[in-house]
Amino acid sequence: MRGIVLASGSPRRRELLGLLGLPFEVVVPRVKEDTAKYEDVKKTAMGLARMKAEVVAHVRQGEVIVASDTLVVLGDRVMGKPDNAAEALAVLHALRGRKHEVTSGIVVHDRPGRSPAVQAVETQVWMRDYSDREIADYIARDEPFDKAGAYAIQDRDFRPVARIKGCYTNVMGLPLCHLYVLLEQVGFTPPPVSPHRACEIHTGQRCLVAVDILKGANR
C-alpha cells in the first residue's frame, strides 16, 4: 500500500486524519499563503491547498498527499490567524453573536501526471454571545494564535459556537467524510472504518450530513 503524507503542520488535521486508522507521515509545506488569493473564497482555499500538496509532492513522489486549507469568512472579510492578543480580541469581538462561513479546500494528490482530487467544503457557523471575560480567559490560555478565526469549535471550556449547518470537522480544519470520498476517487482504498461513526465518537456531535456525503463510498 502506498503511504499517505499529510501536508500540514496543524495538530487538528493530524488528529482528524488519525481517526481513519491509516498510517501517515507529516511533512510541513513552506507556502506563502498570500500568494493564492482569488475573488472567490472557495477558489482561494482550493488554490492554497493545491500549492501545499504540490510542494510536498515534489519531495515525496509516488505517495498520496493530503492537503487542506481553511478560511473563516465574515461578510467580505477573511479572518486569518491572529498574530497577537489585540488581533485575537478584535476577531472574536467581530464574530460574537453573528453568523460566518468556514470554507476548506481539500486536495488529494495521487501521482505526477494525474489530476488531483479536489473539493471545497463550506459550513455555516453561528457564534454564541460570549462575554468579554470569556474572550479574555480564552486569549490568556494562548489558544487563538494558531487558528483561523481565532477559535476552536471543539474547545470545551470556551464553547464559542451556538450551532452549525454543515460539516463539523470542516470547522476544525479537515472535513473527514469528504476526504474519505476523495481518497477513493484517486484509487486509494481506505480501511473499513466509518468516518461518520469515528467522527461522531471523537467530537461528541451528531452529524446530519455524513450520509449524503458518503453515498456510494466503500465504508
Tens of pLDDT along 103-126?
999 999 987 778 899 999 999 999
Give domain status of residue 119, yes or no.
yes
Does some domain include residue 218?
no
**In the prediction, which pLDDT does 39 show?**
75
What residues are annotated to the active site? 69
Mean pLDDT check: name the lowest of 32-46, 72-86, 116-130, 160-174.
Answer: 32-46
Read off the pLDDT band of 193 (50, 70, 90): confident
Within a domain: residue 89?
yes
3-state secondary structure 155-214: CCCCCCEEEEECCHHHHHCCCHHHHHHHHHHCCCCCCCCCHHHHHHHHHCCCCCCHHHHC
Q: For residue 27, what are the contacts with CB-CB under 8 A and spacing of at least 6?
A: 5, 6, 7, 56, 59, 60
Among 19-23, 116-120, 186-190, name the most confident range.
Answer: 116-120
pLDDT for residue 145? 95
Find the mean pLDDT for residues 88-107: 98
CA angle 35, 40, 42 (to 5 degrees): 85
Rounded distance between C-alpha atoms, residue 88 and residue 70, angstroms: 17
Please report whether residue 219 resides in a domain: no
- Total domains in the chain come to 1
Containing domain of residue 87, as a range?
4-213
* Cα–Cα distance, 66 to 78 (Å, whole number): 23
Q: Is residue 198 part of a domain?
A: yes
Q: Per-residue pLDDT tens for 48-71?
A: 999 999 999 999 988 999 999 999
Classify residue 208: in a domain, yes or no.
yes
Query: Is 132 domain-assigned?
Result: yes
Spatial separation of the C-alpha atoms in residues 43 and 41, rounded to whole Å: 5
**CATH number for the domain including 103?**
3.90.950.10
